[in-house]
């Protein structure tokens, strides 16, 4: 009995992640964005501990890896897409697009498809053992949740519209499957020389907390921007 419990503990935690994503999706479809984001965060916590528990208990398995990806598609792909779906139904539409207002919200699920592709690439890409290539799906989900919570009034105002939202969504879809190396935030030591980019990132995050619920969206934008800048500078130094 004890072996049965130990063997199935990681998969149980993964299923909790999956259920959290389902609840987040339901909350999003009902327009309860706050609770949708809360359940996405809860899912992210379960996602963190399922792999850790599998390694600690020595019960990693192929089925656990597949189940983890399926759960992540729901929590970090379908749930934020559902938030976007509802936002597309609320956002301002230019007059030319009003006849398509009933159809455009369904384009939000393009992001779920790109999230699935991102996760499939992650499972096969051996380069991502020490760093991420492309934007991680939990970061993408947290970005959209934080943005909609903190900037909802602006996003549904006439200063913004469905075209901007669609293009912004496509940008993040491209980031999910891009070849841009994202900063690895693990510290092996605390020396400035080896970790200056990480320290710059942390310092840049501090003003973001002044933005309230939008802070995580701002932090992820800063993370992406700094990763791109670092990658461009590294490529230039290699070509010199």
**Are 92 and 161 in contact, with CB atoms under 8 Å apart?**
yes
- The mean per-residue pLDDT over the stretch 58-74 comes to 82
Helices (H) and strands (E) in the chain, counts: 9, 2
Mean pLDDT, to the nearest integer, of 216-240?
87
Q: What is the pTM of this model?
A: 0.88
Residue 58: band (very low, low, confident or very high) from pLDDT cuts 50, 70, 90: low
Distance separating alpha carbons of residues 107 and 166, to the nearest angstrom: 8
Answer whether residue 224 shows pLDDT above 90. Answer: yes
pLDDT at 41 exceeding the cut of 90: yes
* Of the candidate ranges 2-6, 10-14, 188-192, 219-223, the one whose mean pLDDT is the lowest: 2-6
Task: Give tens-digit pLDDT for 128-147.
Answer: 666 788 899 999 999 999 99
Contact 108, 166 (CB under 8 A): no
Phi, psi of 235 (to 5 degrees): -65, -40
Per-residue pLDDT at 23: 97
**Residue 183 pLDDT:** 80
How far out from the chain centre does Cα 16 lie? 18
Per the model's pLDDT, the better-predicted residue between 182 and 61 turns out to be: 182
Options 1.20.120.1760, 3.40.50.300, 3.40.50.1480, 1.10.3720.10; CATH for 2-182 is 1.20.120.1760
Asked if residue 219 lies in contact with residue 208, where contact means CB atoms within 8 angstroms, the answer is yes
Q: Would you kindly state where each structural domain of the chain is located, as residue ranges?
A: 2-182
**Measured between alpha carbons, how far is 205 from 218 in angstroms, rounded to an integer?**
8
Q: Is the dihedral of CA 32, 36, 42, 43 positive or negative?
A: positive
pLDDT score for 163: 95
Q: What is the pLDDT of residues 169-217, one digit of tens each?
A: 999 999 999 988 888 776 666 677 777 888 888 999 999 998 888 999 9
d(CA 228, CA 100): 35
22-26 contacts: CB < 8 A, separation 24 or more?
A: 22/74, 24/75, 24/79, 24/82, 25/74, 25/78, 25/79, 25/82
Over residues 82-99, the pLDDT tens digits come to 999 999 999 999 999 999
């Amino acid at each position: 009995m004890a072996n049965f419990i130990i063997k199935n503990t990681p998969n149980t935690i993964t299923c909790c992640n999956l259920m959290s994503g389902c609840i987040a999706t339901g909350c999003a479809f009902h327009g309860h964005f706050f609770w949708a984001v809360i359940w996405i965060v809860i899912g992210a916590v379960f996602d963190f501990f399922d792999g850790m528990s599998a390694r600690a208990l020595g019960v990693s398995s192929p089925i656990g890896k597949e189940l983890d990806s399926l759960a992540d598609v729901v929590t970090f792909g379908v749930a934020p897409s559902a938030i976007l779906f509802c936002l597309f139904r609320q956002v301002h539409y230019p007059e030319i697009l009003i006849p398509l207002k009933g159809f455009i919200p369904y384009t939000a699920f393009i992001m779920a498809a790109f999230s699935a592709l991102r996760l499939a690439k992650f499972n096969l890409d051996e380069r991502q053992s020490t760093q991420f290539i492309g934007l991680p799906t939990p970061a993408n989900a947290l970005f959209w949740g934080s943005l909609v919570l903190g900037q909802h009034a602006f996003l549904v105002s006439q200063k913004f519209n469905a075209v901007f939202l669609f293009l912004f969504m496509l940008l993040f879809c491209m980031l999910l499957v891009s070849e841009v190396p994202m900063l690895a935030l693990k510290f092996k030591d605390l020396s400035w020389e080896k970790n200056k980019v990480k320290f710059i990132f942390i310092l840049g995050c501090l003003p973001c907390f002044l933005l309230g619920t939008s802070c995580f969206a701002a932090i992820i934008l800063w993370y992406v921007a700094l990763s791109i800048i670092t990658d461009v500078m590294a490529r230039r130094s290699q070509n010199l």
